[in-house]
Amino acid sequence: MTKPAGVALRRAAVQDAEALAALMAEEAVYAGVLQMPYPTADLWRKRLEPQVTDDNSLHLVAVAEGQVIASAGIHLQAWTPRRRHVGGLGMTVAADWQGRGIGSLLMGGLLDWSDNWIGLMRIELTVYTDNARAIALYEKFGFVREGTHRAYALRGGRYVDAHAMARLHPQPPQLPARGE
């Protein structure tokens, strides 16, 4: 996968609150994820503050021409010790940048962190059943459908279904052989 020209990835910062609020204010964006209309920079600032110092999650933004054009993250699901091996994934890309390789760029960064530095065994996500582009991206990176949640979320006055998808680590870390 070639990197889209002029696009850089970096860890999200508290200073991105206004940019993320603007990104999530696009109906074509918030309608595809569990975000609400009319987000504020203060709301995003509160979400970002704990993330920038948390080693248990990675929130990336894609930047082009000085503008945040996409956001994606993996957050450990360690609310119980029995789920420490699991991360939850979320992603959104500005409408004008969809279909241009930004999702693949973000996914590559997240999965490198997850596989090679954190060693997560399982990554989970939900995706609306009518989001064919996102489903194709997730399947390209090894996610499989594990089931369908009926009436999963309210979107525009209608209940919509969502697929539960997950990816198991393709090459889980192994102990070195004796003598290595």
- CATH at 42: 3.40.630.30
Domain assignment of residue 145, yes or no:
no
Q: Hey, which residues does 113 pair with through a beta bridge?
A: none
More confident residue, 97 or 28: 97
Task: Indicate whether 23 belongs to any domain.
Answer: yes
Question: Which residues are bridge partners to 8 per DSSP?
Answer: 63
The domain in which residue 120 lies consists of 7-124
By three-state DSSP, how is residue 112 classified? helix
- Per-residue confidence (pLDDT) for residue 106, from 0 to 100: 97
How much is the mean pLDDT over the chain? 92
Say if residue 150's pLDDT is above 80.
Answer: yes
Q: What are the structure tokens assigned to 84, written together? A: 């420490």
pTM of the model: 0.91
Amino acid letter for position 59: H
Which is it for strands 57-64 and 144-155: parallel, antiparallel or unpaired? unpaired
Higher pLDDT, 145 or 30: 145
> At residue 1, does pLDDT exceed 70?
no
Report, as an integer, the average pLDDT of 93-115. Answer: 95
Proportion of the chain above pLDDT 70, given as a percent: 98
By the 8 A CB rule, do 49 and 24 touch? no
